[in-house]
Amino acid sequence: MGFELSQEQRVIQEVIHRLAQDKIKPRAAEIDEKGEYPFDVKDMLAEHGFIGVTIPEEYGGAGLDLLTYCLIVEEVARVCASSSQVVTVQELGSLPILIGGSEELKQRYLPDLVSGKKIAAFGLTEPSAGSDVKSMKTRAELKGDHYVINGQKCFISNGGVADVYSLFAKTDKGITAYVIEKNAPGFIIGKLEKKMGIKGSPTAEIILDNCEVPVENRIGQEGEGWLIAMKTLDKTRPGIGAQALGIAQGALDVCLGYVQEREQFGRPIGSFQAIQFMLADMATQIEAARGLVYRAATMVNKLDFDKKNKEIIKMASMAKVFASDVAMKVTTDAVQIFGGYGYIQDFPVERMMRDAKITQIYEGTNQIQRIIINRSLF
């Protein structure tokens, strides 16, 4: 692999690898076909301590570094991208509380999120505010001891199953972050999206109709929401790179088995140079992505949120954009290697190809990542 892992990281990698291969892999096709959140997988991952691993120990987490988190995401995504969303979205929804929340807010929510007792979500995107986050229209007005929030969010991962939402709205002082519980007055789950991939990860519309949120549920001060959201995404992008990396590695895994069994013209197709070159390119691209993701995770782990470090932010974007592009290329080639069988659901590569596509889009499209990378060059 060319990247030195600690003994602890190697042990964790081996444990999650075996758990994913033995327990999650057999469920992957069913999770995709039914399109339902895998609560059993969530409970199992929580039981083994693989949810909220980066959260400090004082809030019930393991206090592990970002690279170790990426190793966990990679191994789960290697067999089931939908199941890896259990880990990544929990991290995405928890981080705003950790980064900007009061001590009381952290103590109140983080232990339950780490234990898996409660499920988290992250509410930023709106119909008119995707890449252009500052165009959000959702507004929050302070009325005594609570805020009244009106607006609409879309494409919210874990929408409908989450208990706790880190959600962003505009105030007179700018974008502000809040923790909103699913049973808050005026908090409504709207349309559940029918998606191309990651079908076991529900994606929903959120409607806020005079939604009442206590003042003590504000994350940070009014107007700090933009920074909290960007700091969160800076830290989660290597995780999406790891997810893409895992999907790509999983596709290569099944290809290596298939080309030794599938025969044409009297011999295994793996003996043909055309196939060998495709596999060699896939393996090379995956290894390059792995090096970039692991390096970015190591650098971002040292990110001081009080200081803007363009070099570290650049690495996070590079890891996300490169690994997701590799995942799309590798899974497309995997379908080609399987031929007609690759296009049907009896084999996992078509699912992996569908799942890979979203990694180029969410948590900042690859076009936006390239803008971030370009800005850091000058």
Question: For strand 164-171 and strand 120-123, is the pairing parallel, antiparallel, or unpaired?
Answer: parallel
Q: What is the mean pLDDT of residues 7-36?
A: 97
**pLDDT at position 130:** 86
**pLDDT at position 307:** 64
Q: What are the residue boundaries of the structural domains of the chain, listed by start?
A: 7-115, 120-219, 225-377
Residue-wise pLDDT tens digits, 230-246: 999 999 999 999 999 99
**pLDDT at position 1:** 46
**pLDDT at position 283:** 98
CB contact at 8 A, 75 and 53: no
Q: How far is it, in rounded angstroms, from Cα 10 to Cα 372?
A: 32
Q: What is the mean pLDDT of residues 197-203?
A: 97
Residues in the chain: 378
Does the domain made of 120-219 have the CATH classification 3.40.50.10860?
A: no
Which amino acid does the sequence have at 167? L
Q: Which residue has the tokens 């040292």?
A: 302
Q: CB atoms < 10 A from the CB of 41, how many?
A: 25
Residue-wise pLDDT tens digits, 262-320: 999 999 999 999 999 999 999 999 999 999 999 999 999 887 666 668 888 899 999 99
Averaged pLDDT of the chain:
96
Q: How far is it, in rounded angstroms, from Cα 79 to Cα 18?
A: 11
261 noted as active-site residue: no
* Dihedral sign from CA coordinates of 125, 129, 131, 133: negative
CB contact at 8 A, 292 and 318: yes
| Residue 326 tokens, joined | 């590799």
**pLDDT at position 306:** 63
Beta-bridge partners for 263 = 268
**pLDDT at position 324:** 98
pTM of the model: 0.96
Q: What is the mean pLDDT of residues 79-107?
A: 98
Q: Which CATH number fits domain 7-115: 3.30.70.270, 1.10.540.10, 3.30.465.10, 3.90.1170.50?
A: 1.10.540.10
Q: Which residue has the tokens 């199953």?
A: 161
Looking from the CA of 118 toward its CB, the CA atoms found within 13 Å total: 18
3-state secondary structure of 51: coil
Residues in CB range of 166: below 8 A, 6 or more apart: 93, 94, 95, 96, 97, 120, 121, 122, 123, 177, 178, 179, 219, 232
Distances (CA, A) of 357 to 39, 65, 326, 339: 24, 27, 10, 20
DSSP letters along 1-47, please?
--SPPPHHHHHHHHHHHHHIIIIIGGGHHHHHHHT---HHHHHHHHH
Residue-wise pLDDT tens digits, 110-157: 999 999 999 999 999 999 988 888 899 999 999 999 999 999 999 999
Distances (CA, A) of 369 to 131, 293, 313, 376: 10, 14, 10, 11
Convert 88-97 to b/e letters by CB count within 10 Å (16 or more is b): bbbbbbbbbb
Q: Give the rounded distance of the alpha carbon of 311 from its chain centre.
A: 22
| Residue 325 tokens, joined | 């592009």
Residue-wise pLDDT tens digits, 162-173: 999 999 999 999
Residue-wise pLDDT tens digits, 329-348: 999 999 999 999 999 999 99
Q: Do domains 120-219 and 225-377 have the same CATH topology?
A: no
Question: Would the pLDDT of 32 be above 60?
Answer: yes
Q: Which CATH number fits domain 225-377: 3.40.50.300, 1.10.1380.10, 3.30.1330.10, 1.20.140.10?
A: 1.20.140.10
**pLDDT at position 308:** 67
Q: What is the mean pLDDT of residues 175-184?
A: 98
